[in-house]
Amino acid sequence: MAATDPVVYLRGTPPFDSLPEPLFAVASRALEIAYYPAASRLVRRGADPLEHLYVIRKGAVRLEREGQTMQLLEEGEMFGYTSLITNKATLDVVVEEDLLAYRLPRAQFEALLADARFAGHFAVGLSERLKASLEHSQVTTFQADLSARVEQLVRRLPVRVPATATVGEAAQVMRDQHVSSVLVGTEPESIVTDRDFRNRVLAEGMGPDTPVLRVASSRLKTVAAETPIYEAWTMLLDSGVHHLPVTRGKEIIGVITSNDLLKATAQGPVAVLRRVERLASRDQLPGYGQRVTEMTSALLAGGLDATVIAGFVARLNDALVHRILTWAEAEMGPPPCAYAWIVSGSEGRMEQTLLTDQDNALVYADGYPDARSYFERLAIRANDDLEAAGFPRCPGGYMAREWNLPLDEWTQRFTSWTSDQSPKALLRAAIFVDFRKVYGALDLAPFEAAVQRAGRERVFMQRLAKAALDSTPPPSLLLRLRGESSEVNIKTKGITPIVYLARCYGLEVGSERRNTLERLDAAVRAGLMGPDGRAMVGEAYRFLLGLRLRRQLHMIGEGRTPTNVVSFADLSAIERSRLRESFQAIRDWQEKASYHYRTDLF
Amino acid sequence: MLFSSPPWDSVVYWALDLETGGLDVRQDPILAVGMVPLRQGIIRLGESYATLVRPPRPEAINPSSIQAHQLVWGEVREAPSVLDVLQAIDGRLREGVLLVHEARIDVGFLKKAYAGCGLRWPAPPVVDTVDLLWKAARMAHFTDPSPAEPTLNLAAARAELGLPAYPAHDALTDAVSAAELFLVLRRKLGAKKLRELR
């Protein structure tokens, strides 16, 4: 059959675009074209299911349940697969605008399901479908596969010295074998690295006869062979070590270094961390934001989930704060008492993917009234440095230069906000509920206890929930390819509702986690949320975060200021479907939550 | 009513388009045929039929027509003869209604070819989307006091009715284009019986 346009169109529509040619060719030979005028009802819930997979070429359809529109589908989007897979008509399908659709009969659709990637797009549950569309993005890039296992980075068997060796002997072995670390034959094994020779031997004035055991590190930080590369990054960033022994079972099969991980992608977090560690002075801060953007872009192209990338960005930002505060202390002299640098908002939740406005505060020990001026200066300096590194000032003024207080006063203020009825107080309380300590020796347990108490304040929780439910995603019917509502702010209409409601759930079940997904997990463990609901909301969240990041990187690439507004016409048909489904998942959750918190009483 | 007319979607339509070596029915040859059936109002791409046709001699292709159909002698000299093709078409034409865009030309060429091969023209009922465009325009006349002439060009008429753009001058794609146009016009006219479409 000649290549007619409908076949070409279908071939270009995901997931048909990823099918092997012979499989697609067979299916496309059975393609049909159907035309239905507006208001036609293609299937009725509970009646006979559809017998075709429909791909919309022109026009639109509504999926309805009991007269309520659940979803609206437009060009390039598909329907009918639920009928085909479950053999039930679970929704009414009504033509919204005159519909020209290409359709595949059941037999051909089922034949295509043999292709796993194709089948993934038609998984019955929303969470699996969303997952399939996320995984799909990996295959289109030429980037290193960041989910590859670390064992692929192991180049040689580990080099060992006996437990009785001296530092000098160990150094010779390392020189001869061209390695920067050796394992020491203790039980269990320990490790010594060239850094140890510098920091623990030479700098301490010890000689080559020193027993290697005196300077080796026991209790090895190891990584299992099947660990994905990106997880090894996390371990490296969290532990601060530069050598990771790789284990299979109990055996160490090799040692990978931060350099090996660095080579896995030159723009990865290890590379950015290196640059942060090597920042010599404050005038080298500009450019940090740019490097984080490049890293984010590379990781996204490498197939990493936006939520995983956010974890890296948080760790790097934390390292930068360490650097900035260490400089400040070195220049201003040691602090007069213990203090803590805390971050809140998205940084507190470790959910930043691109640098956003600063959200921070400084808390110091009680009983040092004279410490105020020192910490004020410290905060101003650190805020300025962060701004130089690419974190804009917070327009609301939630920065340490304005928020530096002794712990007791700080805790009292927070508590007063939670009982204050004004919207401003509620906003402040909500911001600092997401606090996370990044630097400093001060123990914040009293403040954490105040946050936990707030979670048990019924009125406060209801008001917090009310705020979370105020922003609802637009109904599917209003999201159109063209016209007034062809644009949507996916932060305020999608991400924020999830974050806010997860915050309520996390607080209510007494979780100390700040991260949205971890708060959801805590809610599931406490029985406040079912695992299915968690899966739906979690995948919707991951999808929205990923979609926003892709769009924002795209805007940056075009030299525009990134925004949270997504134009429907810029999305692929699959993205449009997933966006609508994600919004639906949020609305379902909000409905349950409004019942739980009785926000209708307000 | 003398004869009852069948419901429009109870009959089979074969949408057909020809590429020809010129516009002169008397001397220009058929170079390509595309056909696709509609059953129960659904276009069945899988049953489509498309072939090139070998003209009697190279000079039969009018040079000015090549720009439209892009077919040259080298491409069609291995194709089946017009007789073979007509025999393949014939069974399809006898199945139901012949659906074309501008019947005057395509039906003219077909009849001439049938006669040339000594075959009997099966005389299927013909539905012409150009006629339907005129009907739709006349209907609009009741509501719009100063109607414009209807757009009769296949691609332009499709665009006006909100149908997607398909590449033109491939016989099968044009047949599919005409079939889709038919579905939209049938709906626009509110036609329920075959009679209302002829």
- % pLDDT > 90, chain A: 42
Print the SS3 string covering A454-513.
HCCCHHHHHHHHHHHHHCCCCCHHHCCCCCHHHEEEHHHHHHHHHHHHHHHHHHHCCCCC
Q: What is residue A484's predicted lDDT score, i.e. its pLDDT?
A: 66
Domain assignment present for B47: yes
Give contacts of B44 with chain A, Cβ < 8 Å: 32
Cα–Cα distance between A391 and A289 in angstroms, integer?
A: 7
Domain CATH code at residue B167:
3.30.420.10
Which of the pair, A575 or A367, is modelled with greater confidence? A367
Cα–Cα distance between A245 and A15 in angstroms, integer?
A: 41
Residue with tokens 């769009």: A551
Task: Provide CATH 3.30.460.10 ranges for chain A.
Answer: 269-446
Domain assignment present for B184: yes
Task: Provide CATH 2.60.120.10 ranges for chain A.
Answer: 5-124
Which residues, at least 6 apart from A445, have a Cβ–Cβ distance to it below 8 Å?
A: none
Most confidently modeled range among A127-131, A398-402, B4-8: A398-402
Q: What is residue A142's predicted lDDT score, i.e. its pLDDT?
A: 34
pLDDT digits (tens, 9 = 90+) for B143-161: 666 656 788 999 999 998 9
Q: What is the mean pLDDT of residues A334-349?
A: 94
Task: Provide CATH 1.20.120 ranges for chain A.
Answer: 462-601
Q: What is the mean pLDDT of residues A207-236?
A: 86
Tokens of B3: 């004869």
Q: What is residue B3's predicted lDDT score, i.e. its pLDDT?
A: 63
Q: What are A181's strand-pairing partners?
A: A193
* Predicted confidence (pLDDT) at residue B1 exceeds the cutoff of 50: no
Tell me the HSE value of B10 on the side-chain side, using a 13 A CA sphere. 7
* Predicted confidence (pLDDT) at residue A286 exceeds the cutoff of 60: yes
Give the 3-state secondary structure percentages of chain B, helix then strand then coil, rounded to 5: 45, 20, 35
- The angle formed by the CA atoms of residues A240, A242 and A247, to the nearest 5 degrees, is 105
Is it true that domain A462-601 has CATH number 1.20.120? Answer: yes
Q: What is the mean pLDDT of residues A515-533?
A: 94
Of B164, B170, B173, the CB nearest to A57: B164
- The angle formed by the CA atoms of residues B148, B151 and B153, to the nearest 5 degrees, is 160
Q: How far is A482 from chain B (nearest CA, A)?
A: 14
CATH code for the structural domain at A5-124: 2.60.120.10
Fold of A269-446: Beta Polymerase; domain 2 (3.30.460)
Tokens of A191: 């490790």
Domain assignment present for B2: no
Q: Do residues A407 and A447 make contact, with C-beta atoms less than 8 angstroms apart?
A: yes
Q: What is residue A300's predicted lDDT score, i.e. its pLDDT?
A: 79
Task: State the complex-level ipTM.
Answer: 0.90
Give contacts of A31 with chain B, Cβ < 8 Å: 45-46
pLDDT digits (tens, 9 = 90+) for A235-259: 877 777 888 899 988 889 889 888 7
Q: What is residue A137's predicted lDDT score, i.e. its pLDDT?
A: 41
Chain A residues whose C-beta is within 8 A of a chain B C-beta are 1-2, 4-7, 9, 28-35, 37, 57-59, 98, 100
Q: What is residue A437's predicted lDDT score, i.e. its pLDDT?
A: 95
Q: What is residue B42's predicted lDDT score, i.e. its pLDDT?
A: 96
Q: What is residue A266's predicted lDDT score, i.e. its pLDDT?
A: 58
pLDDT digits (tens, 9 = 90+) for A459-476: 999 999 998 998 888 876
* Predicted confidence (pLDDT) at residue A480 exceeds the cutoff of 90: no
Tell me the HSE value of A330 on the side-chain side, using a 13 A CA sphere. 8
Q: What is residue A82's predicted lDDT score, i.e. its pLDDT?
A: 81
Domain assignment present for B4: no
Domain assignment present for B136: yes
Task: Provide CATH 3.10.580.10 ranges for chain A.
Answer: 150-257
Name the amino acid, one letter, at A43. Answer: V
Q: What is the mean pLDDT of residues A343-359?
A: 89
Domain residues for B31?
A: 9-197
**Cis peptide leading into residue A15 (ω within 30°):** yes
Cα–Cα distance between A544 and A469 in angstroms, integer?
A: 18
pLDDT digits (tens, 9 = 90+) for B62-115: 777 777 777 777 778 889 999 999 999 999 999 999 999 999 999 999 999 999
Q: How far is A9 from chain B (nearest CA, A)?
A: 10
Cα–Cα distance between A70 and A80 in angstroms, integer?
A: 15
Q: Classify residue A459 as exposed, middle or buried by CB count within 10 Å of its CB (0-12, 13-18, 19+).
A: exposed
Work out how many domains chain B is built from and give that number: 1
pLDDT digits (tens, 9 = 90+) for B102-146: 999 999 999 999 999 999 999 999 999 999 999 888 887 666 666
* Predicted confidence (pLDDT) at residue A221 exceeds the cutoff of 80: yes
Number of H helices and number of E strands within chain A? 25, 18
Tokens of B116: 């040339």
CATH code for the structural domain at A150-257: 3.10.580.10
Q: Do residues A298 and A264 make contact, with C-beta atoms less than 8 angstroms apart?
A: no
Q: How far is CA B131 from the centre of its chain?
A: 12
How many residues in chain A? 602
Of B45, B172, B180, the CB nearest to A100: B180
Q: What is residue A143's predicted lDDT score, i.e. its pLDDT?
A: 42
Domain assignment present for B1: no
